[in-house]
Amino acid sequence: MAQSAQLTIDIAADVKKAVDGIESVNGKLSGIGKAFTGTAIAGAAVAAGKALFDMGSAALTAAEDGRKVFQATEQIIKATGGAAGVSAEYVTGYAEKLALLTGIDDELIQSGQNLLLTFKNVKNEVNDGTGIFDRATVAAADLAAAGFGSMESNAVQLGKALNDPITGMSALTRSGVTFTEQEKETIRTLQESGKMFEAQNVILKAVEGQVGGTAEASASASDRMQVAWDIALGTIGDALLPIVDKLLPTFTKLLDTLVPAITPVIELVAALAVDLIDALAPAIEPLIPLIAELGAMIAQEMGAVIRQVAPLLPPMIAALGQFLKAVLPLIPSAIKMQTAWLPLLPVITQLIT
């Protein structure tokens, strides 16, 4: 009984020491944490500033890319006399709307639209998504999603087919779209009788009957989210671009002033580097044979070691195999023995206590 009591006292004392030690470590760690609080805040501020700068840079890039595509749209509409019946603003808005549905980059869609705009017979009767121009845009995206070329190549093939259905059908057929003989005859008859819209409608119905809705159905949530983020970045960049445009002349003047001042410094550093290399070359050249010789000596010594060790490897591997062969059958018995001891652990623990 006396021994049991003493054992209990010793265990309690050890536990108290451990707890006191942990509290001491926690106190030291807390002190370190307080010491680094200012550094952490400064680091977080730097990281936040970098993140804002990166986002601003990405926003400006997105806005500039969007501006290039928009300016191309404006120029094509001007060159074709507005034959498609759409404005540049409408084209951009429809591209963004379709991008959010399909997960396709809105600028890629608008680049395809720009190609369609070059075909003067591809036009909208109404600007609500049901016109020939809008349906052709969606059809180009659906064909691309189904594996028939890219958005832009499909826009070209559709533009040819819709601009001159009789001769353009063959180009679209080579892209993978099939037409029945009856559809071909109907298209020919309609175009020859001056019913261009009706002929175009037959072509688009054939395409929609084969791949309609593929782009939207195959778009993932992450694709749509990325498109939404890119559009948001472009909107932010559009707000920043006027500021950048206003600062550009000042920045250009600053560069014009700095470059002449910095150039002599760069030339001086380059000259010093050349002089340093010229000075070090005589000292380095004698070392090259020594380094090569040292490398050869190391390789020779390593080769000798490998040659000595190599004959020992097969018997070592064979011995290891024999050992495993002898030990592995004992593992199930050891596991069973361990399992047999488990019910006794509470009893042993009680006895020790």
**Is the model's pLDDT at 4 over the cut of 50?**
no
- Residue 131, number of CB atoms within 10 A of its CB: 20
Q: Of the candidates 98, 91, 111, which has an alpha carbon nearest to the alpha carbon of residue 153?
A: 111
**Residue 118 near residue 159, CB atoms below 8 Å:** yes
pLDDT tens track for 33-51: 555 556 666 666 666 667 7
Q: What is the pLDDT, as a whole number, of residue 338?
A: 62
Round the average pLDDT of the chain to a whole number and report it: 83
**Is the model's pLDDT at 239 over the cut of 90?**
no
**Residue 233 near residue 65, CB atoms below 8 Å:** no
Burial of 211 (0-12, 13-18, 19+ CB in 10 A): buried
Mean pLDDT is highest, among 53-62, 79-88, 283-292, for 79-88
The pTM score is 0.60
Domain boundaries, the chain: 1-26, 51-231, 289-352
What is the C-alpha separation between 343 and 337, in angstroms, rounded? Answer: 11
**Residue 110 near residue 95, CB atoms below 8 Å:** yes
Q: What is the mean pLDDT of residues 118-141?
A: 95
**Is the model's pLDDT at 1 over the cut of 60?**
no
Residue 148 DSSP code = S
What is the C-alpha separation between 276 and 103, in angstroms, rounded? Answer: 56
pLDDT tens track for 334-348: 666 666 666 666 777
pLDDT tens track for 150-179: 999 999 999 999 999 999 888 888 878 999
Residue 105 DSSP code = -
pLDDT tens track for 19-36: 455 555 555 545 555 555
Report the percent of the chain where pLDDT is more than 90. Answer: 44
